[in-house]
Amino acid sequence: MKNSFTIINNRTNESFEFDILDAARGPSVVDISTFYAKTKMFTYDPGFTSTASCISDITFIDGEKGELRYRGIEISELASNNSYLDVCYLLLNSKLPNKEESKDFDLELRHRSFLHEGLKNLFKAFPSNAHPMATLSSAASALSSFYYDHLVIHSEAEYQEMARRIIAKMPTIAAFAYRHSIGAPFIQPDIDKSFTENFLYMLRAYPGGKMHRNANGEDIIREIEIKALDTIFTLHADHEQNASTTTVRTVASTGAHPYVAISAGISALWGRAHGGANESVIAQLEMIGSVENVDKFIARAKDPEDEFRLMGFGHRVYKNFDPRAKALKELQDELKVELNLDSNLMEIANRIEQIALSDEYFISRKLYPNIDFYSGVILTALQIPKSMFTPVFVIGRTVGWITQWIEYKKETKTKISRPRQLYLGK
């Protein structure tokens, strides 16, 4: 059996052969990198629905089965048994950390969570009503000037240092952007707090760092809130070659600084077709307002003349339940009493899901709830404002972007990303 694909040009009867490369999991690929050289024609695949852009062993998605694995481990296993920081270690090092490695990694990120004093002035340059995503992408880009030596990386140790630095700083950047938007002074990270607890602390603490206390004199950042947010970070950590990761890899291919590649990824994620959907889902549920209005909006989502779309529904790859959405729905059900989740929003969301999953329009197009459909109700219960939902996605995804950036850089046969076109002009 020949391990190749033969393509025949029926206009000229010429046939061309291309190698088949087999995957460890999922579809094989046809290597068409010599297609233009052999055929003097381009392939055409806008949106890359049938195109593999790289070779990777970081994250695997089976869209038909609704399966997601980080370094081969199922997402449901990681979300139930591991902290977000251990998942960051797994993505960066291809293995989960032992106790010692986990402790050292956690401590290193606590020490790296602080921002250079000069960077703080950047936040003040923004109007208080600036969307935090604008501030995040600007701050990530500005970080490249404080750590310019990461432009050329020579060793594994430096790859790790560069990656740990931006993973550690992203929650501080996001929290400072939020504090600026409410006219409150920045709260410095507290190295006695874990990665996830620190983020909630930097959002909520009074000026000077004091926290509300409950009747028993304990900080009101509850364990259950920390666990919920930690799980949300894990579910967002990486997702193969999505639009923002492809953006990060494209910027990596030009040789620019890793932190400006992350900045470009943040900008790409902001769009409501991508990571910006989580904010739009809650805005949409609030606009729908009550269960009685759901049918009207479902009809609009189905109307080809109406550009209204159900935010949080559909996915380029998942043509089954998004396993992250499943994990979040379970988390929502688990937390609804403890965190006093907004029952009206949940009721509307459940009604949308119930109708959509039995309606021919959604079934025929294999449109299921995606990760963004459920995250917002939990984030709202964590007193995180809508404008901070996509920044929460950024905090979770920074490890995925930087891991993919490193994988690209370590690839020996890379070329600058430079697609061609079908020209229909004069």
Residue 274 Cβ vs ligand SDX, minimum distance, rounded to whole Å: 4
Q: Which stretch binds ligand SDX (CB under 6 A): 30-38, 366-374, 384-392, 403-411?
A: 366-374
| Among the listed residues 166, 175, 214, the one whose alpha carbon sits nearest the alpha carbon of residue 193 | 175
Cα first-last separation, the chain: 46
Q: Are 386 and 231 in contact (CB under 8 A)?
A: no
Q: Give the C-alpha separation, 394 to 401, whole Å.
A: 9
d(CA 203, CA 323): 29
Question: Per rule CB under 6 A, is residue 365 in the interface with ligand SDX?
Answer: yes
363 binds ligand SDX (CB under 6 A): no
Residue from the set 316, 319, 336, 386 that interacts with ligand SDX by CB under 6 A: 316
Q: Which one of 230, 322, 342, 372 is the catalytic residue?
A: 372
Q: Does 367 bind ligand SDX (CB under 6 A)?
A: yes
Query: What are the C-alpha distances in Å from 311 to residues 14, 212, 279?
Result: 47, 35, 9
Is 342 catalytic? The answer is no
Q: How many residues bind ligand SDX (CB under 6 A)?
A: 21
User: Please, is 131 exposed, middle or buried when counting C-beta atoms within 10 Å of its C-beta (0-12, 13-18, 19+)?
Assistant: middle
242 scored as a contact of ligand SDX (CB under 6 A):
yes
Structure tokens at 83: 């902290």
For ligand SDX, the closer of residues 275 and 391 by Cβ is: 275
User: Judged by CB under 6 A, does residue 315 bind ligand SDX?
Assistant: yes
Using the minimum distance from each CB to ligand SDX, give the nearer residue, 202 or 328. 328
- For the chain, counts of helices (H) and of strands (E): 18, 6
Which x/- pattern, by CB under 6 A, does the window 271-300 give for ligand SDX? --xxx-x-----------------------
Report how far residue 316's alpha carbon sits from residue 272's, in angstroms, rounded to the nearest whole number: 14
Tokens representing 9 are 């040009």
Token reading at 64: 């038909």
- Nearest approach in angstroms of CB 358 to ligand SDX is 15
Q: How far is the CB of 309 from ligand SDX (least distance, A)?
A: 4
Given 122, 310, 327, 378, the residue binding ligand SDX (CB under 6 A): 310
For residue 372, indicate whether it is catalytic: yes
The tokens of 328 are what? 């979040």
Which residues are catalytically annotated? 315, 372
The binding site for ligand SDX (CB under 6 A) comprises: 239, 242, 273-275, 277, 301, 309-317, 365, 367, 370-372
